[in-house]
Amino acid sequence: MITFEDVTKRYRDGTVAVADLSLEVPTGAITVFVGPSGCGKTTSLRMINRMIDATSGRITLDGQDVREIDPPTLRRGIGYVIQQAGLFPHRKIVDNVATVPYLLGWSKRKARARAMDLLELVGLDPGLAGRYPFQLSGGQQQRVGVARALAADPPVLLMDEPFSAVDPIVRASLQDELLRLQSELRKTIVFVTHDIDEAVKLGDTVAVMRVGGRLAQMAGPATLLTEPADDFVREFLGRDRGIRRLSFISAKEVRLRPAPSDLATDEDGRPLGWRTANGLAAYGTFTPETDSLRAALDAALLSANGTAVAVDEEGRVRGVAGRDAIDELLAEYAPPASGGSGEGSSGDGSSEEAPA
Amino acid sequence: MNWLAGFFGDPAHWSGPDGIPVRLLEHLEFSAGAFLVAALIAVPLGLLIGHTGRGALLVVVAANAARALPTLGLLVLVVLLAGVGTVLPVLIPLIVLAVPPILVNTYEGVRGVDADLRDAAYGMGLRGRQVLFQTLTPVALPLILLGLRLAAIQVVSTATVAAFVGLGGLGRFIIDGLATKTYADVVGGAVLVAALALAVQLGFVLLDRVAVSPGVRQVR
Ligand SMILES: Nc1ncnc2c1ncn2[C@@H]1O[C@H](COP(=O)(O)OP(=O)(O)OP(=O)(O)O)[C@@H](O)[C@H]1O
Ligand SMILES: [Mg+2]
């Protein structure tokens, strides 16, 4: 566990980047620091591995004050990934990944073998091992950056906007990859981003910061979306909070009924469309085991008759769910009555401030 | 062309204490000596100033002094101070000539390394010295070698001034040739100096191939 206890960072020019920050980063989970530009996310992150030293307060790592540890030693035990990957241009990919093992004095053979395993782990072709960084795409370089951070198997990983320099499609795949990795590795990850969607997608816990390095709210993503602490958080979360929250509810519980005869299927049982007088009409599908309620609702909205088609992993029809079935589940997960977010998604919170 | 044939075709020019081999060797001795001393001073200094950021003013001063300093004038001055006949008066101006390009390029090379890369190196847990030698130096190497090459070529070309103070080297052919109006010797000596400069250039191109990582080589 990492704890911040009344941590303040005042730069030499007087800028207070972080003020009295106290929070706990739980072990084995992803904690995201999110907030507008300049709010002190990077500063907070870099105080953990002492790339920056706090002006006052204490940061502890498993109970030990990081200030008691010599910085290079501390850093070798903490994976660090930065936005521009920061790969060593003069070293081959395999040797980039093996950087920390080399520093720790592993033999070249062992370090390289470990590096090859990691390339595979982050989904890179081992054939890239002998290349130099300039011969890789931005997305591949970021994967190498992640592999390098993981090389010595550190329990803690610090990531500062690692995916913000790549295009949205690559970013989404890197995010998915990180979640897959994390489900295997269970590292303590502190992830910095200014992108709230990324925060909500990746974070087990999301710490929303406001300018001046003050913590506005720290909560799980679903709670954050339903119960923002104040106007700042509500505004920062942006539009469609209600819909976005559905991403955190599994579609497993949606009550299915058998597929009606007007759903046309092929011989393997895959859907073809809804039979109508004018031929086959559009349909939407979701996979209850892996999809969210948001996907189920989306499928219903895509279907000509408002009924979502549930399919298994192979795409074969398992049943259907009408709006009534989806509504039923929505009601179950309705925000708490006292949650204070009864207003529309435009986020007019003024009514809450009114005295009772 | 006749001059060249006369100079290189004369068997007398290929042996004896004032033959081409001996003069060439002398020339190389001055040059290599001055170049090595300059490199030993300027490379570590450039690395250190570039890495710590302290003493950058020294680099600026050196760069400007290099443009202003008359090598021949300095030579005469040092001869007046040290006396004729020793090798020192030749070495000092050559060293003074060679230090600035090495110092400036080494410094610029290290300074110019991407701040994110430097940051990443520290972030991985490299210590200051490891950052310098395992990251900054290999990445700055093309510029460091450029500085060394410029210095080496200048030294080799300028070492002809040794002849002014009665020492050997290829400059002898030029000075003596001018004195005795033996123009074949003047041209022959000049061609030898030019060839030597070319050889140095070639040597550095090869060194660049071997020493610089393909990951940082500029042309690809
Ligand atoms: N070395 C420094 N000296 C002075 N002020 C600094 C320094 N580094 C950062 N700051 C200031 O501290 C504040 C917080 O900076 P920080 O880099 O932590 O923000 P951030 O939340 O990471 O922003 P971004 O999303 O833009 O990366 C900003 O106002 C910034 O200008
Ligand atoms: Mg930042």
Q: Which of B127, B135, B141 sits opposite A88 (nearest CB)?
A: B135
Work out the average pLDDT over A1-23. 95
Please give the model's pTM, rounded to 2 decimal places.
Answer: 0.84
Q: Confirm whether A208 is domain-assigned.
A: yes
Radius of gyration (Cα) for chain A, nearest Å? 24
Q: What is the pLDDT of residue B38?
A: 96
Q: Is A88 in the pocket of ligand 1 (CB under 6 A)?
A: no
Q: Confirm whether A179 is domain-assigned.
A: yes
Domains of chain B by residue range: 2-219
Helix (H) or strand (E) holding A39: none
Question: Could you report the predicted ipTM of this complex, rounded to two decimals?
Answer: 0.86
Residues belonging to chain B with any Cβ–Cβ distance to chain A shorter than 8 Å: 116-117, 119-127, 130, 135, 138-139, 141, 213-216, 220
Check which CATH number belongs to the domain holding A256 and give it: 3.10.580
Q: What is the pLDDT of residue A353?
A: 37
Same domain, A126 and A168: yes
Distance CA B87, CA B81 (A): 13
Check which CATH number belongs to the domain holding A103 and give it: 3.40.50.300
Same domain, A103 and A148: yes
Q: Confirm whether A341 is domain-assigned.
A: no
Give, using CA atoms, the residue closest to atom 3 of ligand 1: A11
Residues belonging to chain A with any Cβ–Cβ distance to chain B shorter than 8 Å: 49, 51, 71-77, 80, 82-92, 99-100, 103, 132-134, 148
Same domain, A154 and A298: no
Number of the ligand 1 atom closest to the C-alpha atom of A15:
5
Closest CA to A25 of A225, A209, A188: A188
Residue with tokens 């040739």: B177
Angle at A160 (CA atoms; ends A155, A163), nearest 5 degrees: 105
Give, using CA atoms, the residue closest to atom 10 of ligand 1: A17
Q: How many CB atoms lie within 10 A of CB A191?
A: 26
Number of the ligand 1 atom closest to the C-alpha atom of A41:
21
Q: What is the pLDDT of residue B148?
A: 97
CA A328 to chain centre: 29
Number of the ligand 1 atom closest to the C-alpha atom of A43:
18
Q: Confirm whether A344 is domain-assigned.
A: no
Q: Which CATH architecture has domain B2-219?
A: Orthogonal Bundle (1.10)
Interface mutation target, options A90, A95, A100, chain B, most CBs of B under 10 Å: A90
**Pocket test residue of A4, A33, A41 for ligand 1, highest count of atoms within 8 A of CB:** A41
Number of domains, chain A: 2
Distance CA A85, CA A163 (A): 9
> Which pair of structure tokens corresponds to residue A255?
């009550």
- In chain A, residues with a C-beta closer than 8 Å to the C-beta of B130 are 103
pLDDT tens digits, A236-279? 988 888 888 888 888 898 999 998 888 988 999 899 999 988 88
pLDDT band at A346 (very low <50, low <70, confident <90, very high): very low
Handedness of CA B66, B70, B72, B78 (dihedral sign): negative
Bridge partners (DSSP) listed for residue A10: A16
Q: What is the pLDDT of residue B92?
A: 84
Q: How many CB atoms lie within 10 A of CB A251?
A: 25
Q: How many CB atoms lie within 10 A of CB A210?
A: 17
Interchain pair A100, B214: CB under 8 A: no
- CA distances for A172 relative to A164, A198, B104, angstroms: 10, 9, 45
Q: Which of A49, A90, A103 sits opposite B126 (nearest CB)?
A: A103
Encoded amino acid at A200, one letter? V
* Coarse DSSP helix, strand, coil percentages of chain B, rounded to the nearest 5 percent: 80, 0, 20
pLDDT tens digits, A175-201? 999 999 999 999 999 999 999 999 999
pLDDT tens digits, A93-149? 999 999 999 999 999 999 999 999 999 999 999 999 999 999 999 999 999 999 999
pLDDT tens digits, A302-314? 998 989 999 999 9
Residue partners of A95: CB distance under 8 A and separation at least 6: A88, A102, A112, A115
Distance CA A179, CA A290 (A): 14
Mean pLDDT of the residues in chain A: 90
> Which pair of structure tokens corresponds to residue A96?
């980039």
Closest CA to A105 of B125, B10, B7: B125
Helix (H) or strand (E) holding A321: strand A317-321
Distance CA B126, CA A87 (A): 14
> Which pair of structure tokens corresponds to residue A176?
């998915």
Q: Which of B135, B141, B215 sits opposite A133 (nearest CB)?
A: B215
Same domain, A228 and A289: no
Q: Confirm whether A50 is domain-assigned.
A: yes
- In chain B, residues with a C-beta closer than 8 Å to the C-beta of A83 are 116
**Pocket test residue of A9, A18, A32, A42 for ligand 1, highest count of atoms within 8 A of CB:** A42
Residue with tokens 């913590």: A215
DSSP three-state, residue A334:
coil
Does pLDDT of A318 surpass 50?
yes
Distance CA A328, CA A302 (A): 19
Same domain, A21 and A161: yes
Same domain, A63 and A140: yes
Q: Is A155 in the pocket of ligand 1 (CB under 6 A)?
A: no
Helix (H) or strand (E) holding A159: strand A156-160
Interchain pair A86, B220: CB under 8 A: no
Same domain, A264 and A202: no
Closest CA to A242 of A337, A346, A324: A346
Q: What is the pLDDT of residue A154?
A: 96
Distance CA A278, CA A334 (A): 39
Q: Is A40 in the pocket of ligand 1 (CB under 6 A)?
A: yes
Q: Is A17 in the pocket of ligand 1 (CB under 6 A)?
A: yes
* % chain B with pLDDT above 70: 95
Residue A34 Rama label (left phi>0; alpha psi -120 to 50; beta): beta
Q: Residues of chain B whose pLDDT is less than 70?
A: 1, 71-72, 75, 82-85, 218-220
Sheet (strand A156-160) strand order: A78-81, A156-160, A188-193, A30-34, A205-210, A214-219
Interface mutation target, options B113, B116, B124, B134, chain A, most CBs of A under 10 Å: B124
Same domain, A9 and A152: yes
Q: What is the pLDDT of residue B220?
A: 42
Residue A101: exposed, middle, or buried by beta-carbon count in 10 A (0-12, 13-18, 19+)?
buried
Distance CA A291, CA A285 (A): 10
Distance CA A43, CA A162 (A): 15
Domain that includes residue A116, residue range: 2-247
pLDDT band at A336 (very low <50, low <70, confident <90, very high): confident
Q: What is the pLDDT of residue A330?
A: 86
Same domain, A193 and A314: no
Q: Is A53 in the pocket of ligand 1 (CB under 6 A)?
A: no
Same domain, A86 and A106: yes
Same domain, A229 and A268: no
Distance from CA of B210 to the nearest CA of A (A): 13
Same domain, A186 and A304: no
* Dihedral of the alpha carbons of B188, B192, B194, B197, in degrees to the nearest 10: -170
CB A28 within 8 A of CB A66: no
Residue finishing a domain among A219, A247, A275: A247
